[in-house]
Amino acid sequence: MRLDAEWLGSAHLRAVMDALQGEAYFVGGCVRNTLLGQPVADIDITTPIEPGEVTRLLEVAGLKAVPTGIEHGTVTAVSGGEGYEITTFRADVTTDGRRATVRFSTVIDEDAARRDFTMNAIYADAAGEIIDPLGGLPDILARRVRFIGEPRDRIREDYLRILRFFRFTAWYSGDGIEAEGLAACAELADGIDGLARERVGAEMKKLLSAPDPAPSVAAMAASGVLMRCLTGASPALLAPLVHLEGEAGVGADWMTRLAALGGEEPETALRLSRNEAKRLADIRALLARPVTVAVAAHRNGAQAAQAMALLRAASGDTSGLANLTGEIARGIAAKFPLHAAHLVAAGMQPGPALGIALEAARRQWLDSDFSLDRTALLDNALD
């Protein structure tokens, strides 16, 4: 079987493969996604050649070699302004559930055996010819996410693989979740507690960005994995939210979906950035008060207003979805008609009292859904 992909014909990529003199293979996401008919973002190359010799061969071919992860066997080749990661075959020596000590290898089977899922252990040569050392091709063609070998052994090597199992299931599984892998994840779920929260957060964001993560997240909850990631989270609103996104023609937004899960202190549990934490706080604040979509858009922006409307609809109140785009545009375009100069011209003295009056007028204007004009606001302020 041979890959049929436009990226295989890249002259810049060909220069890298030629430099390695036939001792290089494509692996991982580029092979997997091509076989599944999905977009390819990164092209990873692996080789039995050790990093020092990889560097020498690239430089002899006139290509730049950057030691981006030399201790782990990774050299980045720069060809035509594009970077291609080249990693020497590896085999695990020791693992502790978070990281592994590895040795370099010249055997493709050893390199394949240390990977997580069978669909990620399929290789292709420079011409795109498939090499399948572990027999993973039937799994990927059946869209089956299956651990390599004994699932518990793979998970104990790196507990992040539990979350990767659910993420890959959300993105690539065709029909349900693989039972043996799910049972292993449930049994070893407490291993998540030892992971860096940044790693947990990164996996959750990728999972929630899948076209429909609801079945996978429901399985996480049932297996006890979700509570290890985010205490108090519930998948109840996620399926209706995903359905409503489709009806509204709205793209997937992991932040809105995270807000649907709820949970305690997601900012800390998932190590959200400051901007991400603010976005989540804005959505939660809007859900806690009875504001219209237009007012929400005016105060917190289009994205937050859309999230609020969808989440309310997922909870049963679909009124905010009526003319969603138009209401968001109306809110963004609305301009507060009263300014400090108007109050001063009407006789109010500059000072703290003026600022308080102006803010009170703004609240009245928002509460009126922008219906109060300057005259009404000025009368109320001076009353």
Give the pLDDT confidence of 279-293 residue by residue, as tens digits.
999 999 999 988 999
- CA distances 303 to 41, 199, 286, 328, Å, are 26, 26, 12, 9
Per-residue model confidence (pLDDT) at position 5: 93
Q: pTM here?
A: 0.90
In this prediction, residue 317 carries a pLDDT of 94
**Secondary structure (3-state) at 31:** helix
Nearby residues of 63 by Cβ (< 8 Å), 6 or more positions away: 15, 16, 19, 77, 78, 79
Q: What is the pLDDT of residue 165?
A: 98
Nearest CA to 254 out of 218, 215, 280 is that of 280
What's the rounded Cα separation, in Å, for the pair 182 and 151?
A: 9
Positions in the chain short of pLDDT 50: none
Give 104's strand partners.
90
Closest of 225, 107, 105, 83 to residue 166, by C-alpha: 225
Q: How far apart are CA 304 and CA 281, in angstroms?
A: 10
Q: Which residues pair with 102 in a beta bridge?
A: 92
The domain made up of 1-142 has a fold known as Beta Polymerase; domain 2 (3.30.460)
Q: Where in the chain is the domain with CATH 1.10.3090.10?
A: 146-272
pLDDT at 96: 67
Structure tokens at 112: 């394949």
Residue of 225, 230, 289 lying closest to 254 (CA atoms): 230
d(C-alpha 72, C-alpha 203), whole Å = 22
pLDDT of residue 92: 79
Comparing CA positions, the residue from 220, 218, 219, 254 lying closest to residue 237 is 218
Of the candidates 159, 183, 250, 169, the one whose C-alpha atom is nearest the C-alpha of residue 217 is 169
The reported pLDDT for the residue numbered 97 is 64
Residue with tokens 């934490």: 277
Q: Please report how many Cα atoms fall inside a 13 Å half-sphere around the Cα of residue 233, on the Cβ side.
A: 28
**Which residues, at least 6 apart from 24, have a Cβ–Cβ distance to it below 8 Å?**
16, 17, 45, 46, 47, 49, 86, 126
Q: Residue type for 211, please?
A: P
Distances (CA, A) of 190 to 96, 301, 336: 14, 39, 52
Find residue 129's DSSP bridge partners.
2
Give me the helices (H) in 134-273, please.
Answer: 137-141, 151-157, 160-172, 179-187, 197-208, 214-222, 225-229, 238-248, 254-261, 266-269
Whether domain 146-272 has CATH 1.10.3090.10 = yes
Both tokens of residue 293? 């979509």
> What does DSSP say about strands 82-88 and 130-131: parallel, antiparallel, or unpaired?
unpaired
- Residue 322, classified by CB atoms within 10 Å of its CB into exposed (0-12), middle (13-18) or buried (19+), is exposed
User: Rounded CA gap, 229 and 224, in Å?
Assistant: 9
Side chain identity at residue 207, one-letter code: L
List every span in the chain annotated with CATH 3.30.460.10: 1-142
Provide the 10 A C-beta neighbour count for residue 268: 12
Partners of 65 in the beta sheet? 77
